[in-house]
Structure 1
Amino acid sequence: MTFVSFDPSSGRVLAHHACLSEDRLEQRLHQAYQAAQAWQHEAPSERAALLYRLASALSAGRERMARELCLETGTLLKDCLREVERCAEECAHFAANGQAMLPAARSQVSQRPLGLMLALTAGPAPLWQCVRLLAPALMAGNGLLLKPAEHLSRLVELLARLMTEAEVPEGLITPLRISKEQVAGVVADARIGGLAYSGERQGGAIMAALAGGRLKPVILELAEADLQLILDDADLEPAVESVLNGCFRYRASWRQSEGGVLITPGLAEAFLERLGERLASLRSGRPDDSDTELGPLAKSGQREWLERQLREAERQGGRIRCGGYLPDEEGWYYPATLIEGQDPATTLFPAWPAGPVSSVLRVADEHGMQALCRSMSPDGIASIWTRDLARGEQLARSLPFDLCRVNPNPYHNSHWPPQSSPDQRLPLKRFSRSKTVLVSA
């Protein structure tokens, strides 16, 4: 198998990389297992020192790494710069606070490392997805095999250089280019003590099944539902800005989850007209151009798939207000698209396809919104827009989602990855096993 890296802005091939042979994969596994065994005996202060070195290497190489990410993912350069910054911040956070998260050395209950872990990532901000697993895993005393998404083969080289620059012990963090079949073999290997996956829900279900078949602990960070509910008395501009930031800032080329916009009739036409104007004004272009507001899609074939989905929605009665056509130009671009309708099938709801698409579903009232939301995963976020706070709170309490916000900051999603609060970071306990020692007289 050969991994091919493309430039999404032109469709040009950047590089070919061979899949690891079984012999070389075994060598990497052996080396990684030995490194992980040694690392779990290092003092927390040594683990913190390594994370500080990683933070320094990320900060020093910020411009170079961001441009590499921009070239391979099609993500806007300013967002890639922010991604590298967030990775440095994450490493520094666990370096500064990780020791306090671990029990005292002579405590009756201690946290022991899982050992060598396999982590797969397949979501937006690919470097960030790796680092947010890597930092707590290292601080907890684990080694890590990292497998990014298959279309990001150059990211493997970036990660390998980062480990060298930060003087990470050889084998402790090992980026891999392996096939899906090889992943199953690695999961089954007795040297793998735990698994982690960050990405869409379908991939998470496959990883959970593999882990369950081997009774191995697994950490799942899955794409969440993201829904905007707009009532008749909402303030128009904040609601429009929130949809723009949620649908089109950064994640337009990656997102594949559940979500969309539900709106009651009184404000629907004004909202659609204003959102359509804003979308039509977005500047499309190369992601490394500072004036670009909408870059290309991340993967080959993605826009053809999106085109088929939109044509089917139109056949069902959906109305495209702007965009919604396959452009005749090089690269994997697709215009900002707004589709609306009065039936879920006409707007692709609740599916939220990867691409610069906003689907707006007209709903009669709050009861209709509640009924539609009950079929969705509770692992998600709902943003409710209304001037009547009591009405908004009542609707929020009736929805199944883990987080419901009434009139949130409309710029909350303008940067991705967002700034993490302490409760949003992965706790070290998820990368550890509890061990209890009881001494009787």
Structure 2
Amino acid sequence: MADSQRLSDMLVTVNPTNGEEIDRYPYMSDSEFDTTIQKCHEAFLNWRHEAPKERAEIIKKIGEGLKARKTELAQLMTKEMGKLVNQGEAELDLCIGICDWTAQNGPKELNNEEREIPNGGRGIITYSPIGVIYGIQPWNFPAYQVVRYAIANLMAGNGVLLKHAESVTGSGLMLEEIFRDAGLPENLFSVLRITHDQSDKVIAHKLVRGVTLTGSPSAGEIIAKKAGEQLKKTVLELGSNDAYIVLEDADLENAVKQCVTGRIFNNGETCVAAKRFIVVDAIYDQFRDAFVKAMKDIKLGDPMKNESDLGPMAREDLRDDLHDQVRKSVENGAQIACGGEKPTQRGWWYPATVLEDVKPGQPAYDDELFGPVAALIRAKDADDAMRIANDSRFGLGGGIFSENRDRAIELAEKYFDTGMVFINGFGLAQPNMPFGGVKNSGYGREHGGFGMKEFVNAKAINVMG
């Protein structure tokens, strides 16, 4: 009982390759997190008056700090959640790119705008920071999920709090250290080591002005309700079951390569991953044979070694939930083309898996498969493929493979009901392009200047004479 009580007072990180404990971190008391919020607010009161150009210089240095400690942080992320270490390094390259783009473009994105108003008056629109922004972030991209919202809000002049997933607590604390070492004012970016009940108190705290969450739709519903009860704005980036459409005129070799990458990248644990593969009847069999062969060739292995294609899933419960989704899909008519068996070795491994005959009523069609399981769906033609793609409660990303780029762009622009579409490739995020979804995939946008204006006061100053 004593050991159980001691563990309940600690955040515990565990290596998913072998199930062994990495470290423990004490939870904050209510008074400790209240003090942290107070100090973040006090730091904000000064930071908001720093010129955007001065903020940009520190954000640039944060990127330099991430670059200097890239190997160290990538290895820690791999130990904590199992991603391939080279993909962890690529994640940090994206984070560095976000810092660089924000530092270069942030000041002009936040410039005042002037407009004429009736009777010869002068209108000024200014983007004023609002205060402390609270971020609740998941484990699958331990650095990127944080950098995505934190850098935009720091650029805007806000203070930032982070509740990271328990399993990547060490990564969150290293980011806090990197931000501080780059010259960011003390307490302006702070990690909260808190429980879910304490998190509710943070949302309700009078000094917290906005809440952003990356997580599941069910978590989004809870957080949006709690923040809405406090009349606080939210940005939600939730799950998805992104559809990648392969049309008759697609480059088949490229489509297979990109679709395999899109399904197994980050061990398949990516909100904007390719998950449903909708292939028109004319080339279905060709695509299916090549895709299944490529997925069979994926090598499970030590994520610290470059020859591995796929590491373990982040937690045992996540692996078991995924296997249960596969089992239920098969019970409802899906067929396993490859994979689908839970390994018996230590750690939380799952093989690259392809399900065929996927139809409504199966988890593989209706829900998000957050792991290396692909749902293969046959469509009659392009119109049918788009219908199936949009037959989802989610709408984060999606893809189209076609050699007719103009047609693909038209389909993406006019018919694909998602926040992002990738044509003839698989992608995650670009620092200069908006990131976010529709429907049950959430609302709000990050990157490309959009994130800087989610939590600001677009203030109208009317000069009448």
Q: TM-score, normalised by structure 1?
A: 0.90
Bigger Cα displacement from structure 2, 199-208 vs 186-195: 199-208
Partner of 2:455: 431
Partner of 1:202: 218
Provide the C-alpha distance between the structure 2 equivalents of 1:50 and 1:385, rounded to a whole number of angstroms: 41
Preserved CA contact (<8 Å) 1:4 1:14: yes
Gap change, CA 1:256 and 1:11, over 3 Å in 2: farther
User: How many Å apart are 1:139 and its aligned residue?
Assistant: 1.3
Overall identity of the aligned pairs, in %: 27
Provide the C-alpha distance between the structure 1 equivalents of 2:463 and 2:383, rounded to a whole number of angstroms: 59
Gap change, CA 1:100 and 1:391, over 3 Å in 2: closer
- Aligned with 1:170 (options 173, 179, 186): 186
- Aligned with 2:70 (options 62, 69, 76): 62
User: How many Å apart are 1:419 and its aligned residue?
Assistant: 3.6
Preserved CA contact (<8 Å) 1:3 1:19: yes
Provide the C-alpha distance between the structure 1 equivalents of 2:94 and 2:357, rounded to a whole number of angstroms: 38
User: How many Å apart are 1:80 and its aligned residue?
Assistant: 0.8
After TM superposition, list the pairs within 5 Å mapping 1:282-321 onto structure 2.
282-321=298-337
1:108-142: CA deviation from partner (whole Å, max 9, x where unpaired): 22111111111111263221111121111111111
After TM superposition, list the pairs within 5 Å mapping 1:185-224 onto structure 2.
185-224=201-240
Residue 161 of structure 2 aligns to a residue whose secondary structure is strand
Bigger Cα displacement from structure 2, 417-426 vs 45-54: 417-426
Provide the C-alpha distance between the structure 2 equivalents of 1:258 and 1:247, rounded to a whole number of angstroms: 5
Residue 307 of structure 1 aligns to a residue whose secondary structure is helix
Q: Which runs of 5+ in 2 are unaligned?
A: 1-7, 115-122, 435-446
Gap change, CA 1:57 and 1:374, over 3 Å in 2: closer
Query: Alpha carbon RMSD of aligned pairs, Å?
Result: 2.6
1:290-321: CA deviation from partner (whole Å, max 9, x where unpaired): 11111110122221111211111111121111
Gap change, CA 1:403 and 1:75, over 3 Å in 2: closer
Preserved CA contact (<8 Å) 1:377 1:401: no
Partner of 2:341: 325
Provide the C-alpha distance between the structure 2 equivalents of 1:209 and 1:186, rounded to a whole number of angstroms: 14
Gap change, CA 1:390 and 1:175, over 3 Å in 2: closer
User: How many Å apart are 1:257 and its aligned residue?
Assistant: 8.1
User: How many Å apart are 1:389 and its aligned residue?
Assistant: 6.5
Gap change, CA 1:3 and 1:378, over 3 Å in 2: closer
Kindly indicate whether residue 432 of structure 2 is the aligned counterpart of residue 421 of structure 1: yes
After TM superposition, list the pairs within 5 Å mapping 1:335-374 onto structure 2.
335-341=351-357, 343-346=359-362, 348-374=364-390
Provide the C-alpha distance between the structure 2 equivalents of 1:257 and 1:125, rounded to a whole number of angstroms: 13
Provide the C-alpha distance between the structure 1 equivalents of 2:125 and 2:22, rounded to a whole number of angstroms: 51
Residue 152 of structure 1 aligns to a residue whose secondary structure is helix
Residue 170 of structure 1 aligns to a residue whose secondary structure is coil
Provide the C-alpha distance between the structure 1 equivalents of 2:127 and 2:404, rounded to a whole number of angstroms: 48
Bigger Cα displacement from structure 2, 144-153 vs 97-106: 97-106
Partner of 1:400: 417
- Aligned with 1:81 (options 83, 86, 89): 89
Gap change, CA 1:425 and 1:148, over 3 Å in 2: farther
1:273-306: CA deviation from partner (whole Å, max 9, x where unpaired): 2112111111211111011111110122221111
Residue 122 of structure 1 aligns to a residue whose secondary structure is coil
Residue 348 of structure 1 aligns to a residue whose secondary structure is helix
Partner of 1:36: 44
After the TM superposition, list the runs of 4 or more consecutive aligned residues in structure 1 that deviate by more than 6 angstroms: 388-391
Provide the C-alpha distance between the structure 1 equivalents of 2:11 and 2:184, rounded to a whole number of angstroms: 26
User: How many Å apart are 1:255 and its aligned residue?
Assistant: 4.2
- Aligned with 1:281 (options 269, 293, 297): 297
Gap change, CA 1:395 and 1:430, over 3 Å in 2: closer
Provide the C-alpha distance between the structure 2 equivalents of 1:390 and 1:38, rounded to a whole number of angstroms: 50
Partner of 1:119: 135
Kindly indicate whether residue 409 of structure 2 is the aligned counterpart of residue 409 of structure 1: no
User: How many Å apart are 1:344 and its aligned residue?
Assistant: 2.9
User: How many Å apart are 1:69 and its aligned residue?
Assistant: 1.1
Gap change, CA 1:394 and 1:38, over 3 Å in 2: closer
Gap change, CA 1:296 and 1:317, over 3 Å in 2: same
User: How many Å apart are 1:208 and its aligned residue?
Assistant: 1.8
Provide the C-alpha distance between the structure 1 equivalents of 2:240 and 2:54, rounded to a whole number of angstroms: 35
Provide the C-alpha distance between the structure 2 equivalents of 1:347 and 1:340, rounded to a whole number of angstroms: 13
Gap change, CA 1:328 and 1:45, over 3 Å in 2: same
Specify the code of the residue in structure 1 equivalent to 2:432: S
Provide the C-alpha distance between the structure 1 equivalents of 2:271 and 2:234, rounded to a whole number of angstroms: 23
User: How many Å apart are 1:342 and its aligned residue?
Assistant: 5.0
Partner of 1:132: 148
Partner of 1:152: 168
Provide the C-alpha distance between the structure 1 equivalents of 2:96 and 2:401, rounded to a whole number of angstroms: 35
1:67-90: CA deviation from partner (whole Å, max 9, x where unpaired): 111111211111111111221221
Provide the C-alpha distance between the structure 2 equivalents of 1:179 and 1:149, rounded to a whole number of angstroms: 10
Specify the code of the residue in structure 2 equivalent to 1:84: L
Preserved CA contact (<8 Å) 2:358 2:375: no
Gap change, CA 1:73 and 1:206, over 3 Å in 2: same
Bigger Cα displacement from structure 2, 101-110 vs 38-47: 101-110
Bigger Cα displacement from structure 2, 267-276 vs 371-380: 371-380
Residue 16 of structure 1 aligns to a residue whose secondary structure is strand
Provide the C-alpha distance between the structure 1 equivalents of 2:269 and 2:420, rounded to a whole number of angstroms: 24
Preserved CA contact (<8 Å) 2:275 2:369: no
Provide the C-alpha distance between the structure 2 equivalents of 1:227 and 1:259, rounded to a whole number of angstroms: 6
Provide the C-alpha distance between the structure 1 equivalents of 2:112 and 2:420, rounded to a whole number of angstroms: 34
After TM superposition, list the pairs within 5 Å mapping 1:181-260 onto structure 2.
181-250=197-266, 252-255=268-271, 259-260=275-276
Residue 108 of structure 1 aligns to a residue whose secondary structure is strand
Preserved CA contact (<8 Å) 1:258 1:351: no
Specify the code of the residue in structure 1 equivalent to 2:86: K
Provide the C-alpha distance between the structure 2 equivalents of 1:221 and 1:308, rounded to a whole number of angstroms: 25
